[in-house]
Amino acid sequence: MIKLAINVDHVATLRQARGINEPDPVLAAGICELAGASGIVVHLREDRRHIQDRDVQLLRQTVKTKLNLEMATSEEIIGIALAIKPDMVTLVPEKRAELTTEGGLDVVGQQKKIAKAIAQFAKAGIPVSLFIDPDLDQIKAARQAGATIVEIHTGRYCNTRTETEQNREFGLLATASEAACELNLKVNAGHGLNYINVGRVAGLEALDELSIGHAIMARAMMVGLDRAVREMLDIIYKANKR
Ligand code: PXP
């Protein structure tokens, strides 16, 4: 059965907007787990715009399912991750001016740097996932660099405006997830998934886990976090059964 990992960055975004101590992403993570999430994801950005070091430290102590730390391949953040020891890390590209992670990681172009980071984490027993576009060259490069997991970027699929475009982008996701699976990589997917577009992706058999943040947090503001998580799980499970 496909799993759902929930990104709680935007709980911290709201907190940081006021510079006070609520809402707390640590509390939100607990509610997500109680509602059925299989993992919690946070992105400790170099600019600390939402998640803070304190959050990651506390989440390490409180998350009962699996803590996935998203991060740039930067020396400072690698050091923090090695000290905190999350259950896994996801390497993502990071640009200061972006609103959210834009494209996937260019593993082909930075294979040496990425392989070095993966080796550091492997030594500490921490599995590494690489966030990549649905591109066969990137998948092969991820395998060669020593990754054991890839997260396929669903952003282009989610941003399509016509059925034809959506079918084309979905085809790329399907091909990429199967190819990664054949290379013995664990395959996750995420970015931009919401209550409308998630069903089709959740039906892909090669996928192990979906990573979703914004849509769940946006709905949580209207209906509450527990219900927002359960409604997402319901859609995912129904789609995955077909
Ligand atoms: N996966 C990765 C690698 C991401 O960077 C993000 C955004 O933080 C997500 C998944 C979740 O994306 P969204 O918030 O659009 O659901």
With helix as H, strand as E and coil as C, how does 100-113 read? Answer: CCCCCCCCCCCHHH
Best of 13, 191, 201, 214 for a ligand 1 pocket test (most atoms within 8 Å of beta carbon): 191
- Sign (positive/negative) of CA torsion 107, 111, 141, 202? negative
Ligand 1 contact, 130 CB (< 6 A): no
Helix (H, G, I), strand (E, B), or coil: what is residue 1?
coil
- Tell whether ligand 1 has an atom less than 6 A from the beta carbon of residue 188: no
Long-range contact set of residues 154-159: C-beta below 8 Å, sequence gap at least 24: 154/189, 154/190, 154/191, 154/192, 154/193, 154/201, 155/102, 155/103, 155/191, 155/192, 157/192, 157/197, 157/201, 158/191, 158/192, 158/193, 158/194, 158/197, 159/192
Angle of helix 25-34 relative to helix 225-241, nearest 10 degrees, comes to: 40
Share of the chain above pLDDT 70, in %: 98
* Residue 95 pLDDT class (50, 70, 90 cuts): confident
Locate 242 and state its tokens: 């077909």
130-134: average pLDDT: 98
What's the CA-to-centroid distance between 92 and ligand 1, angstroms? 10
- How many angstroms separate the alpha carbon of residue 194 from the centre of ligand 1? 11
CA of 39 to the centre of ligand 1 (A): 13
Instruction: Output the pLDDT for position 240.
Output: 80
Residue with tokens 């990664």: 180
15 pocket-lining for ligand 1 (C-beta < 6 Å): no
Domains of the chain: 3-240 (3.20.20.70)
Q: How far is the CA of 189 from the centre of ligand 1 (A)?
A: 9
Q: How is 95-156 classified by DSSP, letter by letter?
A: -TT-SS--S---TTTTHHHHHHHHHHHHHTT--EEEEE-S-HHHHHHHHHTT-SEEEEE-HH
CA-nearest of 4, 2, 44, 10 to 211 is 4
pLDDT tens profile 185-235: 999 999 999 999 999 999 999 999 999 999 999 999 999 999 999 999 999
pLDDT score, position 26: 98
63-77 average pLDDT score: 97
Q: Does ligand 1 lie within 6 Å of residue 208's CB atom? A: no
pTM (two decimals):
0.96
pLDDT at 210: 98
Q: Is the pLDDT of residue 94 over 90?
A: no
Q: How buried is 148 (Cβ within 10 angstroms: 0-12 exposed, 13-18 middle, 19+ buried)?
A: middle
The pLDDT, as a whole number, for residue 174 is 98
Residue 242 has pLDDT above 90, yes or no: no
Residue carrying structure tokens 């960055």: 9
Ligand 1 pocket residue status of 26, Cβ below 6 Å: no
Ligand 1 centroid to residue 160 C-alpha, Å:
17
Token pair of 98, please? 């972006």
Work out the number of other CB atoms within 10 angstroms of the CB of residue 137: 11
Give the pLDDT mean for 168-179: 98
Please state the atom number of ligand 1 nearest to the C-alpha of residue 10. Answer: 14
In this structure, the residue with its CA closest to atom 12 of ligand 1 is: 191
Q: Is 101 in the pocket of ligand 1 (CB under 6 A)?
A: yes
Is pLDDT above 80 for 98? no
Question: Ligand 1 pocket check: which of 40, 44, 88, 100 to mutate, most ligand atoms within 8 Å of Cβ?
Answer: 100
pLDDT higher at 100 or 66: 66
Hey, what are 110's tokens? 């930075």
Q: How far does Cα 107 stand from its chain's mean position?
A: 17
Q: Is the pLDDT of residue 91 over 90?
A: yes
- DSSP annotation of 79 reads H
